[in-house]
């Protein structure tokens, strides 16, 4: 990115201000990136932990596969998923507060005894699956923000700060050269005037 500037003191001051803003902001951005990176890892670990827990729970009921064919799936439904929002490093992320289930009444005498256990099992599996989805969404949001922050850190660190420093250096050199030329011109004029005076006398 080429920094646009003019060879004057006003431009020098403006560039100096912009450089200071970026230099002050860079450590904060790096801290945010680091925090987001660790939160993304934590969310990712939680997703894989919940995946493993789900598979483990499913594995426990493999022997009951034939029974699930008899189970009335309309007995249990998810009525509501209550979410709240938690801010992590400036990113709004979802937090699962509660899963509200609706259970259809059934006659225990006309249904197999294990139906009550079946409802509890499905409820547990549904909670794990919903919690996993919430953590997956949280991971996506945090990772997206981390990528944006990393881009900004790289932009500041590798492009803008060096660009501003280079532009400031060029302006300073130009102004110094201009000042030196001006002084040299004044000396030349002064010596010429002194010679003219000597000639006149």
Domain assignment present for residue 200? The answer is no
Work out whether strand 91-103 and strand 76-88 pair parallel, antiparallel, or are unpaired. antiparallel
CATH label of the domain that carries residue 63: 1.10.287.3240
Domain assignment present for residue 150? The answer is yes
Domain assignment present for residue 201? The answer is no
Domain assignment present for residue 182? The answer is yes
Domain assignment present for residue 133? The answer is yes
Report the distance separating Cα 75 and Cα 106, nearest Å: 8
The model's pTM is: 0.75
Domain assignment present for residue 2? The answer is no
* Block residue for tokens 């002084």: 183
In the prediction, which pLDDT does 102 show? 87
Domain of residue 140 covers: 9-193
Supply the angle between the helices 9-60 and 115-154 in degrees, to the nearest 10: 160
Provide the domain count of the chain: 1
Neighbours of 135 (CB within 10 A): 24
Name the token pair of 125: 């599996």
Among 178, 152, 183, which Cα is nearest to 30's? 152
In the prediction, which pLDDT does 196 show? 79
- The predicted-structure confidence for 128-173, as pLDDT tens digits, reads as follows 999 999 999 999 999 999 999 999 999 999 999 999 999 999 989 9
> Rounded to the nearest 5°, which phi and psi values hold at 91?
-110, 130
In the prediction, which pLDDT does 122 show? 85
Domain assignment present for residue 129? The answer is yes
Among 103, 124, 8, which Cα is nearest to 58's? 124
With a cut of 50, list the residues of the chain below it in pLDDT. none
What 8-state DSSP symbol labels residue 157?
A: I
Domain assignment present for residue 198? The answer is no
DSSP string, 61-80: TGGGHHHHTTS-GGGEEEEE
CB 7 within 8 A of CB 171: yes
């Amino acid at each position: 990115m080429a920094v646009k500037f003019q060879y004057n003191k006003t431009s020098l001051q403006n560039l100096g201000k912009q450089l200071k803003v970026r230099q002050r902001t860079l450590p904060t951005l790096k801290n945010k990136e680091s925090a987001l990176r660790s939160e993304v890892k934590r969310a990712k670990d939680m997703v894989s932990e919940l995946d493993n827990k789900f598979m483990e729970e499913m594995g426990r009921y493999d022997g009951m596969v034939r029974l699930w064919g008899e189970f009335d799936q309309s007995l249990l439904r998810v009525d509501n998923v209550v979410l709240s929002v938690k801010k992590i490093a400036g990113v709004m992320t979802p937090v699962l507060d509660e899963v509200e289930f609706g259970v259809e009444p059934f006659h225990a005498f006309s249904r197999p005894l294990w139906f009550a256990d079946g409802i509890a099992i499905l409820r547990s599996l549904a909670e794990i699956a919903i919690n996993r989805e919430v953590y997956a969404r949280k991971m996506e949001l945090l990772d997206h923000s981390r990528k944006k922050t990393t881009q900004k850190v790289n932009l500041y660190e590798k492009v803008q700060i060096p660009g501003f420093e280079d532009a400031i250096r060029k302006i300073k050199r130009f102004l110094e050269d201009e000042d030196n030329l001006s002084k040299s011109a004044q000396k030349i004029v002064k010596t010429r005037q002194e010679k003219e005076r000597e000639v006149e006398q």
